[in-house]
Amino acid sequence: MTDDNTYITDPETWLDKVTTENDFVCIVIFRGHWCKYDEFYLKALGEFNKSTMVKEGLKLIAWTSEGPDGAAKADTAWGLISQYGFTQVIGDSSNALANYLKEDQLLPDIVTTTPQEAHVEDKVDPGSYPNGIVQPAMLW
């Protein structure tokens, strides 16, 4: 987890800083700690990171619109930082970073849905996605 919440207050500056300070960055957007598909692909990417990409200095960041509690639950349950080499697991229920990525055309087709539209209302805690669930995506 990170104490710097610039990814919420000023996502453009945060992204510029992350990509300027690191030669190789991947931000992986996932739905939340409850999603087994997310768990599978984040772990698979983490394994590939450990075996191949870490040698290249990859800064691998997982981001969810579930918020800080959801990010912490995913990291704890799946061992993203401790076992798979993710450098950060970020939760942002304001969706500020995802909205910036869409508006700035970095990820113009990124999709945000309600839990009802995603048919996962039985899997998520009520109110855990006040601004919607950002669907999986990657930014390299």
Give the Cα separation of 49 and 52 in Å (integer). Answer: 5
Question: What pLDDT is attached to residue 33?
Answer: 96
pLDDT digits (tens, 9 = 90+) for 38-52: 999 999 999 999 999
Q: What is the pTM of this model?
A: 0.92
pLDDT digits (tens, 9 = 90+) for 111-130: 999 999 999 999 998 888 99
Domain extents in the chain: 6-139
Quick check: 80 pLDDT over 80? yes
CATH number at 6-139: 3.40.30
Quick check: 12 pLDDT over 80? yes
Give the Cα separation of 114 and 101 in Å (integer). Answer: 19
Give the Cα separation of 101 and 121 in Å (integer). Answer: 26
